[in-house]
Amino acid sequence: MVVRLPGRVLDALMAAPALAGITEGQLRVRAAEGEIVGADGTPVDLDATVVRPIPVYLHRDPPTEPDVPFEMPILHIDDDIVVVDKPPFLATMPRGAHVVQTALVRLRRELGSDGVAPAHRLDRLTSGVLLFTRRREVRAPYQELFAARRVHKEYRAVAAHDERLTAGVRVENRIVKTAGELRARVVPGEVNAISDIALIADRGDGTGDYRLIPQTGRTHQLRLHMAGLGVPIVGDPLYPTVDPELAGAPDAGDFSRPLCLTAELLAFTDPLSGEHREFRSRRTGWVPS
């Protein structure tokens, strides 16, 4: 941040939006421990009068993250890749308030390697098959595989039973998601989101199992398409409308109502060996049978 005239360094830090909620006492403790420094790395005097704009650096405390109480089994591991069965509520990689409770951090700690990197991503609420590379040298070919959409993906979802969807339907529209907004939305314009959706089983409780095959990869695409068909996925806090209580439950330590969407299958031709690879989740929609 940049401290601007007039006033003390402390006054400017206390007014900084990025430090909302931090107290003067906490800042003084950090300053005393040498954690608040200038551009040259030397400690800054919080009571000094600012005579010119200066950069001031400090690390914010990591957010408090409730432990996600689900295991992340390894489905496959070799010298190049590791494939896991990610549980819901676990982000793929650190972002925002989710740092430690991420698949990447868990896997790096389990394997004792900082070379592990995701080849693609799953939403935090989505469970299922997630592929990581193990060495920097092989990272690009696998990431390109996903970027070029040369991977066949199938998802399973649980939603209200709708017999009309037994034969399957293709949904095609345009989806946009603006940075800072929780939800994606359908807008007029050229199609950029295509999903094939079919009811494949009756669960006997008013819900059904659906097979979802995305032909494109827009953010929240499958969730938005299911809601648009009138069968929103069980446990979805955003679609068709925002449920603040459900959306905030995981951050309060309540993991009892997961989104019932699982990345069930990944299949592709390996970019290094040329062999066919296929990995399948062992999860079943995260709804009790």
Average pLDDT of the chain, as a whole number:
90
Choice among 48-62, 110-124, 168-182 with the minimum mean pLDDT: 48-62
Rounded average pLDDT over 205-224: 96
Q: What global pTM score does this model have? A: 0.79
The residue ranking higher by pLDDT, 241 or 36, is 241
List Cα–Cα distances, 139 to 81, 266, 278, in angstroms.
Answer: 9, 17, 19
Report pLDDT for 3.
46
Judge whether 123 counts as a catalytic residue: yes
Report pLDDT for 36.
87
Q: What is the pLDDT of residues 89-116, one digit of tens each?
A: 999 998 767 778 899 999 999 999 999 9
Per-residue DSSP letter, 99 = S
Report pLDDT for 283.
84
Question: Which three-class secondary structure state does DSSP give residue 238?
Answer: coil
Question: Which three-class secondary structure state does DSSP give residue 132?
Answer: strand
Rounded average pLDDT over 201-225: 96
Token code pair at residue 196? 């094939």
- Distance, in Å, from the CA atom of 9 to the CA atom of 48, rounded to the nearest integer, reads 6
Per-residue DSSP letter, 116 = -
- Distance, in Å, from the CA atom of 260 to the CA atom of 205, rounded to the nearest integer, reads 15
Report pLDDT for 288.
41
Choice among 27-36, 130-139, 244-253, 261-270 with the minimum mean pLDDT: 27-36
CA angle 214, 257, 84 (to 5 degrees): 50
Domains annotated on the chain, with CATH:
2-55 (no CATH), 74-277 (3.30.2350.10)
Q: Which of 40, 78, 114, 123 is catalytic?
A: 123
Token code pair at residue 144? 């390109």
Position 45: which residue type? D
